[in-house]
Amino acid sequence: MKRILIADDSSMARMFIKRCLEISGFQDCEFVEAPNGRVAIELLKEKPVDLVVSDLNMPEMNGEELLKRIKSSPRLHEIPVMIITSVANPKKVEELRALKAFAVLGKPISPATISATLSALQNPPEEKP
């Protein structure tokens, strides 16, 4: 993984997510930050990323709309999107997974949670013939 986009309206949350990713083994990555989904889309137009980590609740464009835009784009649809949310709602998690979110994590997150979640991206299961 070389380039990770973190979208969250809180600069402190972005910093914490970045630190969790670094502790989880993503030290050699370029991190790109966006305060909302609208800015994230603009950054994705400039240069694609290998992973998007997005808060669900943000102004201007929330994480769900960002996920929909990424997954409906022929150029971006294969980028894994991890949504982080404080909303403890199983129905919302199910909806986000149906929209093809790679993972939906509840707050508070930790390096261990992120590491376990992203290990599938770093070590995809081998395909059987």
- pTM for the model: 0.90
Q: What is the pLDDT of residue 128?
A: 46
CA dihedral (63, 66, 72, 77) positive or negative: negative
Which helix (H) or strand (E) segment holds residue 33: the answer is strand 30-34
Judge whether 82 lies within some domain.
yes
Tally of domains within the chain: 1
Q: What is the pLDDT of residue 48?
A: 85
Judge whether 66 lies within some domain.
yes
Of residues 70, 87, 82, the one with CA closest to residue 113: 82
Q: What residue type is assigned to position 8 of the chain?
A: D
Q: Cα–Cα–Cα angle for 87, 79, 107, nearest 5°?
A: 20
**pLDDT tens digits, residue range 89-129?**
889 999 999 999 999 998 888 989 988 888 877 655 554 45
14-34 average pLDDT score: 93
Helices 63-71, 90-98: inter-axial angle, 10-degree rounding: 20
Judge whether 43 lies within some domain.
yes
User: What's the CATH code of the domain at 88?
Assistant: 3.40.50.2300
**pLDDT tens digits, residue range 35-64?**
999 999 999 999 889 999 999 999 999 999
Residue with the bigger pLDDT between 15 and 89: it is 15
Judge whether 53 lies within some domain.
yes
Judge whether 8 lies within some domain.
yes
19 near 11, Cβ under 8 Å? no
Which helix (H) or strand (E) segment holds residue 95: the answer is helix 90-98
